[in-house]
Amino acid sequence: MPLAALAVGAAAGTVALAGTAGAETTDIVRTGAGEDGYSSSSRPTYNFGASDTLVAGRAGGDTMVTYLKFTVASPGAGVTVKNARVTLTRESRTLPSALTLSKVASTTWTEKTLSAKNDPALGAAVSTVKPKSDAATVTFDVSAVVKSAGTYTFAVTSKVANTPARFRSSEAAAGRPSLNLTVVRPAATPPATKPPATTPSKPPATTPPTTPPTKPVEATPTTPANCVVDAKLVPSCGVLWGAAAGGFSDVPRDEALKTFEQKTGRTSTVYHTYHKGDELFPTKDEIAMTSDPANPRTLMLNWKVGYGTKWANVAKGDQDARIDRLSTFIKTNYGTRKFFMVLHHEPENDVVATAGSGMTAKDYAAMFRHTVLRMKANGVTNAVFVVAYMNYEKWNNSPWWGDLYPGDDVVDWVGVDTYNNAQPGGFHTGDFNYMMNRTTDKAKFPGWYTWATTNHPAKPIMVAEWGVYDSSPTVVGKNKADVYATVLPQLAKMPQIKGLVYFETAKDQNGHDIRMDDTPEALAGFRKIAADPRFNVKL
């Protein structure tokens, strides 16, 4: 994900019910709570912002109020909001016979400081529901309030005595609060037979100097025949196509991926998912997605084995029980089917360069090596290991960056997560070549693709995450479409790239909308990429 590791807190994602070509499309745009918490009248100075539970109702003399804050990104040009609903997932215990959601005028409160001593005042009631006592979820209709992009704050209360409701918060592992907008998008414009060759603008002088975008060149049309993968999942010709869909959302990843495939018109051969710590995977849903004969897929499983500890501790063997448990699970549940495994993607963001911190670049390399060798010793023979960098100039120029590489003997693919801004003149604006090879100083760092092909010429390159966002004050469909138009011709000039995996989210941790369909023009441009025959690789 762009510029940071996978966030546990909620953000936004998209799941859609796509219409037919040339017709309007109805989507469900889901936004997670950016802030949530609850206050307790009997504990007026207590803060519950870090809790994975939200409580609303009365118990004895205590009145508890749940607060929710959602920041809704623009659903795109020409899009209308049909309705809006807030959904909460019951965490435990029975629900009261009535719950009320009220509007809150203040949007400045934060979950870290919220308490009964300073909680914001409640406004008018928006929706009252009477759920079944054992209902899995509770949904409030907020269509009268939420009609467009903006920040919305609500409170949930109950007057029922001694039956407080308990819901999962944004800190929970699943079932986090969501604001779901049903939106209607205009008909997509059919893709042009030949996209315009454009050169995105150079970033202004106030941003770090960057490599000027390369002018698109026409790719030589080719139709790969009988492209297959070898034991390391390297295609004999062509490029593997994949996606991590529904990022930063509560939408199930398999559901989000199927929607992504429906919109883009191609099965994502690489299905990218994320796990951490003691989680066991592949999950049943992941296994089902890679057991579909009509839509052949392989997994790219991202694992933070060091979650809750330090890289140095993993390297010393402190988490061997965790590694062994997962190894046994994989052998038992996934057999010998090949899959990609990324170990702690984007490590740069978590490096603490101080010697002895346990989180230095060398500690990362040691953690990676130990995990790979341990899994192989445990008999896991079907994992293809990927190291995935961030491609952010600040880190690439750091003196410790080169120490991250774990070694050719434990790395099968060299990967990168990289993103571009489609805003003309904006920071990190550029074409696909710029996305893969940008630099602020070639003497310090020659550009990521140049570095990879020079230092590791025998390793295939996996673009493990890529995406395009538009930071323009008003999103312009042509902007993303122009960047997408550079992908195919410039990809043809980078033969070491053997995998291309899009990261799709309506709102990442920096507020970027990386959906490929936020405008009809963007979707048309992206569908042109997806339709290219170079991605016809058989597993």
Taking only the tens place, the pLDDT of each residue in 360-418 is 999 999 999 999 999 999 999 999 999 999 999 999 999 999 999 999 999 999 999 99
Q: What is the DSSP pairing of strand 122-129 with strand 99-104?
A: antiparallel
Percent of the chain with pLDDT over 90: 76
Report pLDDT digits (tens) over 219-253: 444 445 689 999 999 999 999 999 999 998 888 99
Of 497 and 28, more confident: 497
What digits encode the pLDDT tens for the residues 214-223?
A: 433 334 444 4
Catalytic residue among 261, 286, 346, 393: 346
Q: What are the domain boundaries of the chain?
A: 24-185, 227-538
What is the distance between the alpha carbons of residues 168 and 396, in angstroms, rounded to a whole number?
39
DSSP for 374-430, written as a single string:
HHHHTT--SEEEEEEE---HHHHTSTTGGGG---TTT-SEEEEEEEEE-STT-TTB-
Looking at residue 445, its pLDDT comes to: 96
- Tell me the pairing of strands 62-72 and 53-59: antiparallel
Mean pLDDT of the chain: 88
CATH superfamily of 227-538: Glycosidases (3.20.20.80)
Reduce the DSSP state of residue 331 to 3 states and report it. Answer: helix
- 108-130, pLDDT tens digit by residue? 999 999 999 999 999 999 999 99
Beta-bridge partner residues of 501: 242
Return the residue matching tokens 């025959």.
Answer: 533
Q: What is the pLDDT of residue 24?
A: 67
Note if 465 is an active site residue.
Answer: yes
Total residues belonging to the chain: 539
Specify the pLDDT at position 418.
97
466-519: per-residue pLDDT in tens? 999 999 999 999 999 999 999 999 999 999 999 999 999 998 888 899 999 999
Out of 261, 286, 465, 504, which one is annotated catalytic? 465
- What is the percent of the chain where pLDDT is above 70? 87
Task: Please state the pTM of the whole predicted model.
Answer: 0.64
The pLDDT confidence band at residue 171, using thresholds 50, 70 and 90, is confident
pLDDT given at position 93: 82
Q: What's the CA gap between 241 and 37, in Å, rounded?
A: 40
Angstrom distance (rounded) from CA 145 to CA 133: 27
Q: Is the dihedral of CA 305, 309, 313, 319 positive or negative?
A: negative
**Hey, what are 152's tokens?**
């919305």
| Confidence (pLDDT) at 378 | 97
Query: How buried is residue 332: exposed, middle or buried, by Cβ count under 10 Å (0-12/13-18/19+)?
Result: exposed
Helices 520-530 and 477-484 sit at what angle, rounded to 10 degrees? 10
Token code pair at residue 391: 């491609």
Instruction: Using CA atoms of 100, 104, 109, 113 in order, give the dihedral in degrees to the nearest 10.
Output: -30
* CATH node for 24-185: 2.60.120
The amino acid present at 517, given as its one-letter code, is D
Name residues whose C-beta falls within 8 Å of residue 332's C-beta, 6 or more positions apart in sequence. Answer: none
The pLDDT of residue 188 is: 53
d(CA 337, CA 24): 40
pLDDT of residue 19: 39
Question: How far is Cα 255 from Cα 90, in angstroms, rounded to an integer?
Answer: 22
In DSSP terms, which residues pair with 244 in a beta bridge?
A: 503
Q: Can 346 be counted among the known catalytic residues? A: yes
The pLDDT, as a whole number, for residue 224 is 53
Please, are residues 36 and 16 in contact by the beta-carbon 8 Å criterion? no
DSSP-based three-state secondary structure for 182? strand
What pLDDT is attached to residue 315? 98
**To the nearest 5 percent, what fractions of the chain are helix, strand and coil?**
20, 30, 50
The helix/strand/coil state of 473 is coil
**pLDDT confidence tier of residue 133, bands split at 50, 70 and 90:** very high
Residue 200: pLDDT band with limits 50, 70, 90? very low
